[in-house]
Amino acid sequence: MNLRRITRIALLTALSLILFVLEGFLPLPLPVPGAKLGLAAIVTLIALCTLPTRDAALMLTLRILLASAFGGGFAPMLYSLAGGAASFTAMALLKKHTQHSIIAISAAGGFLHNMAQLLAAAAVMQTSALFYYAPVLGFVGVLTGILIGITARSILQKISR
């Protein structure tokens, strides 16, 4: 791995960590406890569009592990890894094999992130009662995914100039 590649991954990881931490300070009127905007996903989308897929996946994994080390703990790390793996895999496949816009790709990622986290939480807590949240979490995931996609598209347009 060359220095330029390591530096890009490190800078994007740091930026996504900053957004993750800042988001913790935002009061959000979302209808589900624990639901977040997912601002760090902006950086994940940018990485997916500007780096090789494996580097973007590395950046995401590093962000999740570091964020968990800074104060998440094991259970949130497990949920984040499940959501991150599901959403990233889907977004990478959609980007590679379809002509969908970054907004549609982000909406799919937001939806799958929430569903994978819900599945992980239901498995850890050994209850299916959490699935009652699925419709709300699915809607929130699509909505926040659209907002994240719009933001990432705007940033990508500005940096490509």
pLDDT digits (tens, 9 = 90+) for 53-107: 999 999 999 999 999 988 777 888 999 999 999 999 999 999 999 999 999 999 9
Helical pair 53-67 and 3-23, crossing angle rounded to 10 deg: 40
Query: Among candidates 158, 156, 157, which has minimal Cα distance to 51?
Result: 156
CA dihedral for 146, 148, 149, 151, sign (positive or negative): positive
Report residue 32's pLDDT band, with 50, 70 and 90 as the boundaries: low
Q: pLDDT-derived band of residue 34, with 50, 70 and 90 as boundaries?
A: low
Q: How far, in Å, CA of 40 to CA of 33, rounded?
A: 19
Rounded mean pLDDT of 22-31? 77
pTM to 2 decimal places: 0.91
Helices (H), 68-133: 74-97, 102-125
Tokens found for residue 101: 């816009």
Which tens digits make up the pLDDT trace of 126-139?
Answer: 999 889 989 999 99
* Spatial distance between the Cα atoms of 115 and 139, rounded to a whole number of angstroms: 11
**Residue the block writes with tokens 């968990």:** 68
DSSP helix/strand/coil, 161: coil
The percent of residues in the chain predicted with pLDDT above 70, rounded, is 96
Q: What are the structural domains, with CATH classification, of the chain? A: 3-160 (1.10.1760.20)
C-alpha Rg value of the chain to the nearest Å: 15
Mean pLDDT of 39-54: 96
